[in-house]
Structures are given as structure tokens and as C-alpha cells.
Amino acid sequence: MKNIAILGATGSIGSSTLEVVRNNPDKLRVRAITGGKKWQQLAKQALEFKPDLAVIADKSAYDLLKTALAGTSIKVEAGADAVIAAVEAEPLDAVVAAIVGAAGLLPVMAAIEKGRQICLANKETLVVGGSLVMQAIKKADVDLLPVDSEHSAIFQCLQGSPEKSLNKIIITASGGPFRTFSREQLLAVTPEQALKHPNWDMGGKITIDSATLMNKGLEIIEAHWLFNTDYDNIEVVVHPQSIIHSLVEFSDGSVIAQLGWPDMRLPIQYALSWPQRWSPPVPALDLVRVGSMTFEAPDLNRFACLAYAIEAGRAGGIMPCVLNAANEVAVAAFLKRKIGFTEIPALIRRTMDSFTNQPAKTIGQLLEVDTQAREKAAAMLTNGVN
């Protein structure tokens, strides 16, 4: 029996993780769950899975959650510090990190320091703090298991292969809902259109990131850290059917891919079952139903976010943190209709240009840069992005 905590239980990955738990009651036991604001959903989850601890980040929801769980033995806490402390609950073997954005960094660092296995969905943690997070992982000697479908695919392809035999990583991208849009069409897209992903059902922020291709950029940086691979050896190929989740090329030229329906339950379950494999959480892949698979190159001009992420990743230091913060501000502004779709990359470009790069030395420094970048991006929003 594996004791787990789920950070971001009320989100898309969090809910899918609970489905995996529901299907494997003899293998997984939920000890702690955390949510951002949705206390009703968190209460419902707590009543079903009976963790020892339920934490809501939004302090104003504490009383409501406490009342909803009155009469149970579930401990209720609130606030950002309580979310971090949730990884300290005992007994705990693994932490599923499914908070969205840079807000996930500190809880993941705390979980690493506590020696928990990390099942990582929260890619922004590696984008913002890559070198420091990987150092901490090494020092604490904990397993870092990718949940992101592409990275789960790469991780699976690499199982059993000798070290140093990896030549190249090929990350697939669906291309998002605007893959075939012209520049003019991109100018007019609405949040409603951007929130409709052709293949995946996900939280709002990552769905917009998938439409701008920033998601693929963040994933390149994530892959760089997870698999200790140079940016020169990470390639993106657009594969609109999202059946091949990624591929690796070995030193002898052989290429191995992982395939499956686009459904996060499989990569989530593999992160929890590794190195074992459990019963399938989704129907079997049917290649005849898939019919055909196609591939094309990404367009870095129409989707400049991907180019900026690669640039920030290669630059290293604080730049990926700046990129990520500006992107979080830009995506939130787009969803609130304060800026247009094509102003997302524009705001990121201007924010990146307003920083001089420096080495990333401490998490504290990165959190400061994160705050500064958000402030600068917000000020540019007020004064006009272009």
C-alpha cells in the first residue's frame, strides 16, 4: 500500500489521480489532499477518500471546509504554508504535484527535502527552479517520476536502456486548436475558442499554453532537466492525433515511441505504479480506429511562445523563471479578455527583455524574480502591451 498526498486535488490532474486511486484501493491510500479555492469539491473528495488531512490554500474558505467536514476525523488546515506542510503528513510515500504554476515550487521542494517520491505534473516547478530542484533531488536521493504525458512517454522508452545511450528526445505536440490558423485569424481568437483543446481535457492555464505552444516550450525545459539532455538534442514534432506521446532516439539510430489514447490516467498511474504496471485505466489502444498518424514541423513564427521558451531554456539562469511568470500573467489577462491572443507572446517578449540574466542561486532569489517579473508584466499590461 502506497500512502500518497495530492497537491492540487481539485484540478484536472488531481481529479484524474483520484480516479486512479478509486480503481486501485488495494494499492493506494490518500493521506492528504490540498486545493486552491474550491472548498466544496475538496470536501466532497475528502468525504469519499477519507484522508487524514485536507488543506485549502484560500484562507477565507477555512470555516466553510471545516464545517463541511465536521463530525469526521479529517484534520482541516488553510493557507499557503499549510499546503507546503501537507507533504510532511505521516505516513507518506509519494506526493502527486498537481498545483498549476510557480505556486507549486515550494511544496515540491519541501516534499523532496522530506524524502518523498515525487510524481510531477507541475512542470512549472522544473521550468522555474530546474537546476536547484534537480540538485535537491540528487541530494535527497528521491525518485522524480514524470506525470506529463510526453515525459512519461520518454521515461517509459528509456526503461532498461544503458546510460548514455540516449541520442535525442523527440517531443510530440498536438499543435493545439489553432494549428492551421493564419496570423490574421490568430488576432481574433477568443478565450472560448482557445479553451477548446482538440484532444485533451485539462485545466484552463495549460489549455491556453497548448494553444500558444508555450506548453511545448515549457515541456522542452522540463525534458532538459528530467533527462539531463542538451537543448540541441530535444526536438518538437507536431502530431495532431496525440497518439504517440513522445519518442527517443538511441545512439544506434533506433527510435522508440510510447503510444496511447490521450488520457492522463495512464501516465498518472504509471508514475504511481513504477516500476510495476497495474491494470489498464483506459480502454486498449485501437490502431485501426486511429487510422492514420501525421507529423509536421512546428511554426515558430506564428507560435512565438515556443521560440521564446527555447531561448529562455538555452539562456538558463533566471530567464525561464521570468518567462514563466510573464506567461502566467499574460494567460490570466487573456482569459479575462484584457489582451488578445497574439499579445501573450508580445508581453512575454517585453518582460524577458526588461531583465538582465543572472545565475539561479537560491529558491528565494527565484521567488523574488518571479514576483518582479509579474509586477513588470502587470505594469506593461496597464500601459499597453505593444
Q: Considering CB under 5 A, how many residues would be counted as binding Mg ion? A: 3
225 φ/ψ angles, rounded to the nearest 5 degrees: -80, -45
Judged by beta carbon, residue 207 or residue 351, the one nearer ligand NAD is 207
Q: Are 125 and 96 in contact (CB under 8 A)?
A: no
- Which window, 4-12, 111-119, 187-195, 359-367, contacts ligand NAD (CB under 6 A)? 4-12
Nearer to ligand NAD, 56 or 385 (CB): 56
Specify the residue, 15 or 23, whose C-beta has the smaller distance to ligand NAD.
Answer: 15
Residue 51: how many other CB atoms lie within 10 Å:
24
Identity of residue 234: I
What residues contact residue 204 under an 8 Å CB cut-off, 6+ apart? Answer: 195, 335
Pick one of 52, 77, 124, 148: the residue that binds Mg ion (CB under 5 A).
148
Sheet with 234-238: strands ordered across: 234-238, 166-173, 244-250, 255-259
The set of cell numbers assigned to 262 is 490521450
Residue 307 to residue 312: CA distance in whole angstroms: 9
> Do 19 and 47 form a contact (C-beta atoms < 8 A)?
no
Which of 30, 65, 83, 325 forms a contact with ligand NAD (CB under 6 A)? 83
- Copy the grid coordinates of residue 230: 542538451
Is 206 among the residues that bind ligand NAD (CB under 6 A)?
yes
SS3 category, 54:
strand
Window 40-79: contact mask with ligand NAD (x via CB under 6 A): -----------------x----------------------
Regarding 342 and contact with ligand NAD (CB under 6 A), the answer is no
Query: Using CB under 6 A, which of the segments 92-100, 169-177, 186-194, 294-302 binds ligand NAD?
Result: 92-100
Q: Which is nearer to Mg ion, 13 or 322 (CB)?
A: 13
H or E segment to which residue 384 belongs: none
> Which among 111-119, 144-152, 240-248, 305-313 is the span making contact with Mg ion, rule CB under 5 A?
144-152
Q: How far is CA 54 from CA 24, 33, 69, in A?
A: 21, 5, 9
By CB under 6 A, residue 12 contacts ligand NAD:
yes
Q: Which residues bind ligand NAD (CB under 6 A)?
A: 8-14, 35-38, 57, 83, 98-100, 103, 121-124, 148, 200, 202-206, 264
Q: Which residues bind Mg ion (CB under 5 A)?
A: 148-150
